[in-house]
Structure 1
Amino acid sequence: MSFHATATKVGNSTGLRLDAALYRDHPEFASGEYVVDVIAPGRLLISPNGPDEPMADEDADPMLGAFLAFMDQQMSSNTALFTPLDSAQSALIASLVEGIDADDDTEFPADFRIP
């Protein structure tokens, strides 16, 4: 679900004014401090950073963290969407990546795009 926001002047800074519906639907965002990550041009990821939140790891990937939190929520609320990986699916995955060498230490340039 998307919510509307408007940039507005807050003292000497600029802030985002968010729809009241966001706070009704997600009261966890009604107060506190947040960490804001720019995850792509024109895209922000806003996460709570309060005493009830786990400490953020500076080296952690914010997109992976957001994806895992989403998956955790989905697995809890929509269990029918998830099925165990079976041997046929495992064999298909293995055939798709056969012969592909991967190096976890590869550094990609900032302008790298997946085609």
Structure 2
Amino acid sequence: MDAALYRDHPEFASGEYVVDVIAPGRLLVRANGHEETVAEVEADPMLGAFLAFMDQQMSSNPTLFTPIDRAQIALIASLVEGVEASDDTAFSDDFHLP
């Protein structure tokens, strides 16, 4: 890992880490005991990582965020109307995240 990572994120400089495989060729690395509880991470490591990222971004760049309005909610609802999703969906071996 690059030294800049440890300067910007000292929680990774020492200690224990939790590593989850989230997709072929992709890992999620978290400093163990840093801000998230183990129960939150085990429930959904991607959600925990996303929320930690959003927390950091809201603190350091609050002007990047604007409240969502009713028109945006309606647009989102129309985009996902009829879409069915399942946590049990199996991806083929040739599936890769961009």
Band the TM-score falls in, shorter-chain normalisation: 0.7 to 0.9
**Higher strand proportion:** 1
The question of whether the paired residues in 1 share the 8 Å contact of 2:36 and 2:48 is answered with no
**Structure richer in helix, relative to its length:** 2
CA distance in 2: counterparts of 1:38 and 1:82, whole angstroms: 30
Which residues of structure 2 form unaligned runs of 5+? none
| Equivalent residue for 2:11, pick from 16, 28, 45 | 28
Count of residues paired in the alignment:
94
Higher relative contact order (CA 8 A, sep 6+): 2
Residue 84 of structure 1: SS of its match in structure 2?
Answer: coil
Report deviation, 1:101.
Answer: 5.3
Would you say 1:56 and 2:42 are equivalent positions? no
Q: Which amino acid aligns with 1:24?
A: R
- Where in structure 2 are the equivalents of 1:18-97 lying within 5 Å? 18-50=1-33, 53-57=35-39, 59-97=42-80
Structure 1 unaligned runs (5+)? 1-17
Quick one: structure 1 residues 90 and 22, their matched pair in 2 at CA, closer, same or farther if it must change by over 3 Å? Answer: closer
Relative distance call for 1:54 and 1:74 in structure 2 (3 A) is closer
Once residues 110 and 59 of structure 1 are traced to their aligned partners in structure 2, the CA distance between those partners, rounded to angstroms, is 21
The Cα shift of 1:82 comes to 1.1
Aligned-residue CA RMSD (Å): 2.5
Match of 1:111 in 2: 92
> Normalising by the residue count of structure 2, what TM-score does the alignment of the two structures yield?
0.75
Among the aligned pairs, what percent are the same residue?
Answer: 68
Letter in 2 for 1:43: R
Between the aligned partners of 1:108 and 1:101, the Cα distance in structure 2 is: 13
